A and B are shown apart, each in its own frame.
Chain A
Amino acid sequence: EVQLVESGGGLVQPGGSLRLSCAASGFTFSSYAMHWVRQAPGKGLEYVSAISSNGGSTYYANSVKGRFTISRDNSKNTLYLQMGSLRAEDMAVYYCARGDYILTGYYDYWGQGTLVTVSS
């Protein structure tokens, strides 16, 4: 059974940093591109970032470019999102999702999400 489990969310002050993790199981992690999607409270889905299966290619939404870094450790079946210079508008539930490619709107499995709260 495919499972994606996010962790690392919590309360952080504006300007602070946080690292999210997404532990994958039930599939060959190293064969799939992975994605982060977020959802602010009461709002819609927003695409955040993507990484290719071997980690060689990454993409970022303009809203997080230069502040967030996506990475993966295929030996640990884990996806990461390092978030820095956090702003109030970054407060959201962050989902990791499996994609068929890196440049895609296809996400067939999603984690349960982890909440990031940015507040002083």
Chain B
Amino acid sequence: EAGVAQSPRYKIIEKRQSVAFWCNPISGHATLYWYQQILGQGPKLLIQFQNNGVVDDSQLPKDRFSAERLKGVDSTLKIQPAKLEDSAVYLCASSRGTVGYEQYFGPGTRLTVT
């Protein structure tokens, strides 16, 4: 079975620019997660979708970050405008369900904001 796909793998932008990341979860996985991993830290959940509905976005900086999961499959995460502190690896994960199901992680997108 194919894993979680993410693109691009690397992105460099200047502050105040906008950027979008794309995630294609494992086929059949209802739950999709976006995590932010700052260098030297563990991943932190930004948003969780169950099908195309948002379950938890309590740690998403909504003034600049947005995410959607149209049709309950692929998802995009957008940052507009980017700040220097947004430099991080953005990880997408998916699972068959919520509690008790293993989360499978993609390779991540490394964002550098200059």
Do A and B assemble together? no
Chain A residues packing against B (C-beta within 8 Å): none
